[in-house]
Amino acid sequence: MGHTGSTRLTGSVIVISKRGKQENMRHVTISIAAVILVSAALATAGPNLIVNGSFEQGFDPGEFTTLYNGNTSITG
């Protein structure tokens, strides 16, 4: 294997030199880092679109209360 940094085809076997393996490892490392960065960005992206989803905020309606169109007592 006198060829450094090269790839050659021997029959049906592909021989990758040590330099080729290092380049492949570099690409794998960069790909993993990219996936981690994109995952972190997506995890923190955007505001929460649900506001008061359990209706715990607001007034106490008692047994029941009729709310008419335009009433802002229930947020969200």
* pLDDT per residue as tens digits for the range 17-68: 667 777 888 888 999 999 998 888 777 766 777 776 666 667 777 888 888 8
Give the whole-angstrom CA distance, residue 39 versus residue 37: 5
For 74, which DSSP code?
S
Q: Which of 2, 3, 4, 29 is nearest to 19 (CA)?
A: 4
Give the DSSP H/E element, type plus range, for residue 37: helix 18-44
Please compute Rg for the chain using Cα positions.
30
pTM: 0.37
pLDDT higher than 50, residue 3: no
